[in-house]
Structure 1
Amino acid sequence: MSTTENGADSGGRLTFGVSVFGETLAATMRLAAAADAAGLDAVWTSEFYTRSGGISLAAMATATERCRLGSSIMYGIGRSPLVLATDARDLDELSGGRMVLGLGNGTRTMIRDWHGQDPDAPAVRMEELVPLVRRIWRLHEGPVSHDGRFYHVNIKPVGPVAPPQRESIPIVIAGVRPRMVRAAGEVADGLAGHPLMTVKYAQEVVRPALEEGAMRAGRDLANFEVASMVITALHPDVGQARREAAAQIAFYSSVKTYDVILDVCGFTAEGEKIREAFGRRDMAAMVAAVSDDMIDAMSVTGSTPEEIRDGLKRYEGVIDHAMMYTPSIASSPERVEENTSSLIAASDVITAP
């Protein structure tokens, strides 16, 4: 199901947003304001070891007025359930009820080496985390006590707790492998798909896994939003756009975790070449190993807004919301901002029926 800026039914049509990851917070705010003014449904941001998703969302909230604001993703693994709930509450208040909380773990290596946490059973951890964040969101209803496998919480307010601005906040889970996607179907309000996710993977792996999770939980997916980042490059020289997309695809394909997408889509051989080149830290060889078929399946590129529009049409009826995601690997910060700005400026054409 597709949603509009504050989660209302959009009639089943594909909605569009843009992923913003500016070199500076000023750039992030500038791009978010432009996307909001252009009428895009949502602006999304992420985080890495150089940028906080929460701070970026706060900055974007002050620069926008109407669009949804989402994290795609914030690390659930590195924050306690209480910190996640209180950060989300503040961000939702700051944005006037426009926040979408997107959570992810990253790879097992990231869980272990970046956050110093137990990398075992990441989907089980997420299945425990999301309902707990929701309970803490409703702390005004009473104390929260939880003794689980990963989280141990006993919160007893010392006085009355004011209710949050909204009864609930949409929570989406970033998922790639079927087990995590199933977790999203079981406990979340939506799925944030990986930039490598293709139409084939969404149809053959993601949708069945979501349905399995929903069935296990006794839920239906009528109000569930399937969103995905889509690597999108607009440049007058379409060859340049395709090279930029190939670099981003190569970067992600070097990660063993994402093999499942490559295998389902028939790109196993390319993946092996990319990882071999990555082992030598040979970026040029990594990009060269990305086939034209991979670029066509895993990105949308073009020299005109009309070509971008036509490329995105393949996602209609497959996902609910497309996040246009600017490739950044091997691109300068100036080019990243230029591409994002171009997509925003052309959004009236790109999003036209």
Structure 2
Amino acid sequence: MKVFTALYGPVDAVERARALRDAGASGVATFEGQHDVFAPLTLAATVGGLDLMTNVAIAFPRNPIHLAHQANDHQLLSGGRFFLGLGTQIRPQIEKRFGAQFEHPVARMTELIAALRAIFEAWETGGRLDFRGDYYRHTLMTPTFSPGPNPYGPPPIYVGALGPRLTRATAEHADGLLVMPFGTKRFLHDATMPAVRDGLRAGGRRAEDLAVIPEIIVSAGSDPADHAATRRLLAFYGSTPAYRPVLAAHGWEGLQPELNAMSKQGRWQEMGELIDDEVLHTIAACGTPKEIAAHIRDRVDGVSDTVCLYQPSPIGLQTLSEILDELRELR
């Protein structure tokens, strides 16, 4: 099993990437948080033996040309080991934090993928760039600004998705699906994968044409106190209406409006108390390295041989190494 794990800010990115590789990780991934999503990967590209992935770069505030150049450069720096993971985020974040447009996110993301492919093709072939869509328009690429063919080929385009419409569109158009971390085995198999199959059929594609990478929240430790941060994280996710379908799959949909009301009151610490053990252990892989590995294997069996570990707080390297060893033992 290939395992991506988190690379945080750029300050110690090289040292952490090297340590994660030596612990047995297959790749490192960054997310759009307190630091730029690309900068740590620029540094980690100097460390051999690791795949690199944005999981995810928020797409709509960025222009496709900017994204194409960043992805192409990281594909060069890494020797063909870069994966461009894109995400939509939610309307308040896009409109209020980024000051960008969010309307029609599925159609916008689908067109963004097409725009990126058109840009990559123009660079690869030297042909004319002539992309005209509803949201993006690119009709000029002079030789001065074209990097030319990438010796490793264009970087693959992955999309993070949860809802059925974006999941179907991703399966129809993208190279890979990044399954959101707030999820469960039931939701993955009963909601996500049927939408994937629908999208593949619509695109005339085969299962092997799409990589599916579930991201799983991991919480190590045998003491209940070890999982307090994970409970707060699940409460934060659960307060968002977009994640209500995951809770509804288990009959927990009433939890979402309760958490949402508490979030609007600023009761962030208290919200974690509503995440009981059943919710915690269904959504997150918790416990010893052996228990965590068993949860991961059970969830993704028949779906994927690659996962991304989401850590509410960084897992110690020794514990991470033990988790990876256990995953290999369960093969």
2:196 to 194, 198, 210: 210
305-314 or 118-127: which moved more? 305-314
**CA deviation digits over 1:219-264, x for unaligned, max 9?**
22213111122110113x4312332221111111111221122222
Contact 2:118–2:131 under 8 Å retained in 1: no
2:164 to 168, 171, 178: 178
Instruction: Give the TM-score normalised by the residue count of structure 1.
Output: 0.87
Q: Which residue of 1 aligns with 2:329?
A: 352
Shift of 1:284: 2.9
Instruction: Give the TM-score normalised by the residue count of structure 2.
Output: 0.92
How do residues 102-121 of structure 1 correspond to structure 2 at under 5 angstroms? Answer: 102-121=85-104
**CA deviation digits over 1:16-39, x for unaligned, max 9?**
221222xx4233333221121223
Q: Which residue of 2 aligns with 1:71?
A: 54
Aligned mates of 1:180, 1:340 — CA distance in 2:
35
Shift of 1:340: 4.9
Shift of 1:217: 1.6
What SS does structure 1 have at the residue aligned with 2:142?
coil
Counterpart of 2:305 in structure 1: which amino acid?
D
How do residues 296-315 of structure 1 correspond to structure 2 at under 5 angstroms? Answer: 296-302=281-287, 304-315=288-299
Does 2:122 align with 1:139? yes
What SS does structure 1 have at the residue aligned with 2:225?
helix
Contact 2:24–2:321 under 8 Å retained in 1: no
Change (3 A) 1:195 1:275: same
How do residues 115-264 of structure 1 correspond to structure 2 at under 5 angstroms? Answer: 115-140=98-123, 141=125, 142-158=127-143, 162-235=148-221, 237-264=222-249
153-162 or 123-132: which moved more? 153-162
Aligned mates of 1:168, 1:19 — CA distance in 2:
24
Shift of 1:292: 1.6
Q: Which residue of 2 aligns with 1:20?
A: 7
1:46 to 11, 25, 31: 31
How do residues 71-110 of structure 1 correspond to structure 2 at under 5 angstroms? Answer: 71-110=54-93
What SS does structure 2 have at the residue aligned with 1:103?
strand
Counterpart of 2:51 in structure 1: which amino acid?
R
Counterpart of 1:188 in structure 2: which amino acid?
A
Counterpart of 1:41 in structure 2: which amino acid?
S
RMSD over equivalenced CA pairs, Å:
1.8
Counterpart of 1:198 in structure 2: which amino acid?
T
**CA deviation digits over 1:56-114, x for unaligned, max 9?**
2112212x211211110011111111111111111111111110110011011122112
Counterpart of 1:16 in structure 2: which amino acid?
V
Unaligned runs of 5+ in 2: none
How do residues 274-289 of structure 1 correspond to structure 2 at under 5 angstroms? Answer: 274-289=259-274
Contact 1:144–1:155 under 8 Å retained in 2: yes
How do residues 330-341 of structure 1 correspond to structure 2 at under 5 angstroms? Answer: 336-337=313-314, 339-341=315-317
117-126 or 311-320: which moved more? 311-320
Shift of 1:172: 0.6
Aligned mates of 1:16, 1:128 — CA distance in 2:
30
Aligned mates of 2:130, 2:319 — CA distance in 1:
46
Aligned mates of 1:67, 1:38 — CA distance in 2:
12
**CA deviation digits over 1:297-317, x for unaligned, max 9?**
110111x32222222221222
Counterpart of 1:133 in structure 2: which amino acid?
L
Counterpart of 1:276 in structure 2: which amino acid?
A
Contact 2:95–2:102 under 8 Å retained in 1: yes
Report percent identity of matched pairs: 25
What SS does structure 2 have at the residue aligned with 1:231?
strand
Question: Which of 1 and 2 has higher RCO (CA within 8 Å, sep 6+)?
Answer: 1
